[in-house]
Amino acid sequence: MMTKSKRLLPAAEVAENREKAMAKVFGQCQQQLFEVQKSLQELLGYREEYSKRFEMDSKLGMNANRLQDFRMFLHKLNQGIEQQLRVIQAATRERDKRKQEWLLTRTRKEAIGKVVERFAQEELRKENQKEQKDIDEIARNLARFKDQF
C-alpha cells in the first residue's frame, strides 16, 4: 500500500516545478526592468551632454537653422525620455505582478511540502510504534520460552 506522503510526492514535484518556472519569469521581468531603466539613464545622459553642448555653442553664436535643429533634437530626446518612463512604469507593473504570482506559487509549494513532511513524520512514528510493539512481543515470547525450560 502506498503511503499518503508518497501519494503526495507528484503534487509536491508539480508545485516545485511551477514555483521554479514562476521564479524564472519573475527574474526575467526583473532583468527587463533593469534594462529599460538602464536605457533611460543613457537617454538622460545624452540629454545632459547635448544640453551642455547646446549651451556652449549658443554662447559662441549659431545660426537660426542650427538653433532650430538643436531644439528639435532636444524635444525628440525629451519625448523619448517620457516614452521610456512609460515603458518603465509598465515593466514595473509587470514585474510586481509576476513577483506576486511567484510568491503565491512558492507559498503553495511550501504548504504541500509541509503536508508531505507531516505525513512522513506520522508514518515514521507509526512504523516505530509497530517495531517497538513487535520487539516487545518477541521479548515476551522469549521470556515465556525461558520460563518453560
Residues 112-127 have pLDDT tens digits of 999 999 999 999 999 9
Say which CATH class 4-148 falls into.
mainly alpha
pLDDT per residue as tens digits for the range 71-103: 899 999 999 999 999 999 999 999 999 999 999
Instruction: Quote the CA–CA distance of 136 and 134 in Å, as a whole number.
Output: 5
Q: State how far the Cα of 25 lies from the Cα of 99, in Å rounded to an integer.
A: 9
Is the pLDDT confidence value at 149 over 70? no
**Rg over CA atoms, the chain:** 35
Threshold 0.85, pTM exceeds: no
Measured between its terminal Cα atoms, the distance across the chain in Å is: 41
Maximal C-alpha separation, the chain: 125
Which one-letter DSSP state was computed for residue 135?
A: H
Q: Where are the domains of the chain?
A: 4-148
